[in-house]
Amino acid sequence: MSDMLAAARQQEGWEGDVRTDDGWRRPLNFCDGFRHDYDADVATGGWEFIVLRPGLSIAIVDYTVNRVTVRRHRPGDNLVLSAVVSGHSLIDGDGLEGRLAHGYCTLYGLRDGDEFQTCYTPDQPLKYVSVFVERAMFAEVTGLKPDDLGGDLRDFLEARRPLLPHTVPLSGAASLVAAEIADNRMEGPFRGAFLAAKAVELACHILYVRAHSLADSMEAPAFTRADFDRLRRAKALLEHRLDEPLNIHQLARKAGLTRQKLQLGFRLLYGDTVARVRDKARMARALELVRASDLSMIQIALETGYEHPASFTRAFKAAFGHAPLTMRQLAREGVSFNAIAARPANC
């Protein structure tokens, strides 16, 4: 981290690209930072390191290595949150063991000068976003206090006790923000402003889930990574059984969770109750069938788990502002969904 900061802040003296032992670096034109592109025999793609404002930096990584590759990291006196958009990598170090994995964020904060390594597998695309928040400026950067987080995070921020790498599941909102950061194509000062806002937003999403998971674990068993995998399996089961919906007890049993963990986990990961996540999935499927199929409304109602067409019609109109027959007619007239949604319901 200190090496990257030094390189980023020396960019003013750069004249064109700078050669490294495995590629090329060039300065960014909108703030302190650089782009690193690997040599073709090392990897396809590269990464960016950007100093967004005092105490806040970000790395945007998107590459595929062409041989087994080990990288060493010295994160410095920073809280690091690495949200993986796709792919995976192993973490290894003195007393450290972990994994960067799709659908998760890995958090850590080590002593200044400590280091660890990551190992990358050939031909496996890896895309992730790492947010670096300087420990001493955490409250100023995020607006949060150590007491808001509690536990080992507070100990790291206040007493510099190492925070060993551990994973937190990415909620839908956090996954979206990470993807927006990784895929953003703005240029100039707009890109810097966008990334600064999104970096803090991503950190808040992740820290909120972690803080509430720990708070709830005082009354319920803590979530393990396997539990979060089971929660994702539960959501997939729910979405694929719309025509024969499972009740809470059945869904929990099939996913290998207790009812309490299922309900709490849905609130943490998906921001809603099991019932509301199911209802949103029903409506998404119903909209698809109404607009793109020739099934009758009775058939669509049954396929999406409604026993009575009238109940289906009421739910559909409440969700989209139009009755399903009206939605189908407008779709056949070639009206886009956005245009339909903007129309008054009595059109």
Instruction: Report yes or no: 30 and 11 within 8 Å, Cβ to Cβ.
Output: no
CA gap 142, 205 in Å, rounded:
12
| Segment holding 265, helix H or strand E | helix 259-270
- Residue 201 has a pLDDT of 97
In three-state secondary structure terms, 255 is helix
Closest Cα to residue 191, out of 63, 35, 6, 43? Answer: 35
Alpha helices per DSSP H over 39-126: none
CA gap 43, 126 in Å, rounded:
11
- Residue 87 has a pLDDT of 86
- Residue 98 has a pLDDT of 62
- Residue 333 has a pLDDT of 86
- Per-residue pLDDT 10s for the chain (347 aa) are 556 656 555 555 555 688 999 999 999 888 889 999 999 999 999 999 999 999 999 999 999 999 888 888 888 899 999 999 988 887 765 555 566 778 888 888 988 888 888 888 888 899 999 999 999 999 999 999 998 887 889 999 998 888 887 778 888 889 999 999 999 989 889 999 999 999 999 999 999 888 876 544 434 446 677 888 888 899 999 999 898 888 999 999 999 999 888 888 887 777 778 988 999 999 999 999 999 999 999 999 999 999 888 999 999 999 888 999 999 998 888 876 665 555 545 43
- Residue 73 has a pLDDT of 81
The pTM of this model reads 0.66
How does strand 69-73 pair with strand 126-134?
Answer: unpaired
Question: How many Cβ atoms are within 10 Å of 165's Cβ, its own excluded?
Answer: 20
Which amino acid belongs to residue 15?
E
Instruction: Report yes or no: 268 and 286 within 8 Å, Cβ to Cβ.
Output: no
Instruction: Report yes or no: 149 and 208 within 8 Å, Cβ to Cβ.
Output: no
- Residue 346 has a pLDDT of 46
CA gap 27, 45 in Å, rounded:
16
CA gap 107, 343 in Å, rounded:
45
Closest Cα to residue 87, out of 108, 64, 70, 67? Answer: 64
Exposed (0-12), middle (13-18) or buried (19+): which is 99, by Cβ within 10 Å? Answer: middle
From residue 300, give the alpha-carbon distance in Å to each of 61, 109, 278, 279, 310. 43, 51, 16, 14, 12
From residue 64, give the alpha-carbon distance in Å to each of 100, 104, 121, 178, 269. 15, 19, 8, 18, 29
How many Cα neighbours within 13 Å face the side chain of 95?
A: 8
DSSP letter at 218 equals T
- Residue 83 has a pLDDT of 94
**Which tokens belong to 302?**
């049954």
DSSP bridge partners of 90: 99, 119
> How far is CA 114 from its chain centroid?
27
pLDDT tens per residue across span 169-178: 888 889 999 9
